Amino acid sequence: MTLKPGKELVAGQSIILNQPGKETGTMPKIRRALISVYDKEGIVAFARGLAELGVEIMSSGGTARLIRESGINVIEVSAYTGFPEMMDGRVKTLHPKVHGGLLALRDNTTHIRQMKEHGILPIDMVVVNLYPFERTVAKEGVTMEEAVENIDIGGPSMIRSAAKNYKHVAVIVDPDQYAPVLEEMKKNDGRISESKTLELAVQAFRLTARYDGAISGFLARETQDAFPQRLFAEFLKRQELRYGENPHQAAAFYVEAKGSIEPCVSRLDQLCGKELSFNNILDLNAALELVKELDDPGAVVIKHTNPCGAGVAETLSEAFRKAHSGDPVSAFGSIVGLNRCVDVQTAEEVTAPGNFVEAVVAPDFTSEALEILKTRRKWGANLRVLRSGELGRVHPGRTSMDMKKVVGGMLVQTRDAVFEDFSNVKCVTTRKPSQKELNDLKFAWIVVKHVKSNAIVLVKDGTLVGVGAGQMSRVDSVEIAVKKAAGRAKGSVLASDAFFPFRDGVDVAASGGAVAIIQPGGSTKDDEVIGAAEGHGISMLFTGRRHFRH
């Protein structure tokens, strides 16, 4: 078939050959579009808009049928290529007449000559979205066969061909792009600027990169390759922030593109208050991750990612009172985390005279409690109130990896999301803890896991009364925790995130009045440390598990 600018007949259909454009920075008029979408949201309206602008439409399978049934002329890809769909639709657009029409450079005379020789028509726009691989593999019990059948081949191939040739071809991969593209075409006599097609190409390659990453990630998991040779992760920008940790640092908040299956800081719904800051987000994450682990009504008060207060009680309001009483001075300008729906009484406690809270996060809020938080006191309008939805522990095997960025690299590990089984905890002293002490020890062991190492916490009556965080020497952390607790250290229990290397930490704890200690054990000086506990009449439990947090 010899092709000339104008109209040619293919399988009884009128197809327009696009004349290469001469414009600088502007595409030729869009005359032909190939549409093949899995997600058909908005596609009929978009196809109709293209048709009204004189664009000829090619399509295949269910997309072609939907467009045709909507009264819009459409040319079957198989009619154009002369090759039928086959292998249950696996092969339909993988054809030189399709990819040649996408890849040909319109200003290259050799390409134009070869197009004419082989009956290849230029395709100026591709509208494609992909099989839902990520949604498929996120389902419980998905089989390998089901996952493989949802690996799109033809779609990514067309997207890549079109995106590579962005100076001549527009590639549309998201229904959100339909309206702005149509608007630009209407304003410019059916044309799209090169700056726009470049923007579309960038989004297209991001899509295929994410898609291939999801596939390789799934297959790697199936081979039990938890840490593959190459790590692909995609994050979407949630918001730009006023600044970073300090005002001279620019910052933005990104969230995992695949989303999270658990309540977390990336999924919070802000109900009122000022925009979140970089440091707010870090502290909200710390608050939420701690209260997730508390079974009883619980509250935490966070400063600089460390809990300066925490409490559990029969009611949420009482838990908050306990948490705030742990260190009222440090609690000024804090982040509060709660693990139950906030009621009026708790809201009254949070906004009591003398309190200053930057943000509150909880599963939900009653309408009356939310009104109090919004309006109480002069700083109420600025109080950030965030809803997490129902909290619950997620099995460690289903959580995302923990990543810590270093200059020039990334450290990746499984999250410290284990559920502590206290049936395996061993008492190594003659004196056993009372039931009340044991309850406090369990609470202390949860809290110390969320304190920067070297971490020491003192707990009494379900209340965090002393914290020693981030010290280079463990005994220094003990001294700080005892000092913070003051008289409340007497009768308290102590948790240490790692073993005591020497007996000095036990001696300091005993001098403050601690009556029981929980720690991992495992030091070469364990006998000496246990001997110190025995000498002071202190109960000591070994968990066999360390909880460093750097």
Question: Rounded distance, CA 517 to CA 508, Å?
Answer: 12
3-state secondary structure (DSSP) of residue 511: helix
The count of C-alpha atoms lying within 13 angstroms of the C-alpha of 160, restricted to the half-sphere facing its C-beta, is: 11
d(CA 53, CA 98): 22
Structure tokens at 178: 């339909």
Nearest to 489 by CA among 451, 519, 462, 458: 458
The residues annotated with a catalytic role in the active site are: 164, 304
256: how many CB neighbours lie within 10 A of its CB?
Answer: 13
Which tokens in the block code for residue 464?
């965090």
Coil vs helix vs strand at 280: helix
Integer angstrom CA distances of residue 417 from 351, 381, 411: 32, 35, 17
- DSSP per residue, 310-377: EEE-SSHHHHHHHHHHH-TTTTTTEEEEESS-B-HHHHHHHT-TT--EEEEEES-B-HHHHHHHHHSS
Sign of CA dihedral 221, 223, 224, 225: negative
Report whether 44 contacts 70 (CB < 8 A): yes
In whole angstroms, give the CA distance from residue 210 to residue 258.
9
Phi first, then psi, for residue 122 (nearest 5°) are -70, 135
Residue 395 makes CB contacts below 8 A (sequence gap 6+) with none
- Of the candidates 420, 458, 428, the one whose C-alpha atom is nearest the C-alpha of residue 522 is 428
The Cα 132–Cα 280 span in angstroms is: 35
Residues linked to residue 324 through DSSP beta bridges, in sequence order = none
Sign of CA dihedral 499, 504, 507, 511: negative
Handedness of CA 148, 149, 153, 159 (dihedral sign): negative
Q: List the structure tokens of 12.
A: 């009884």
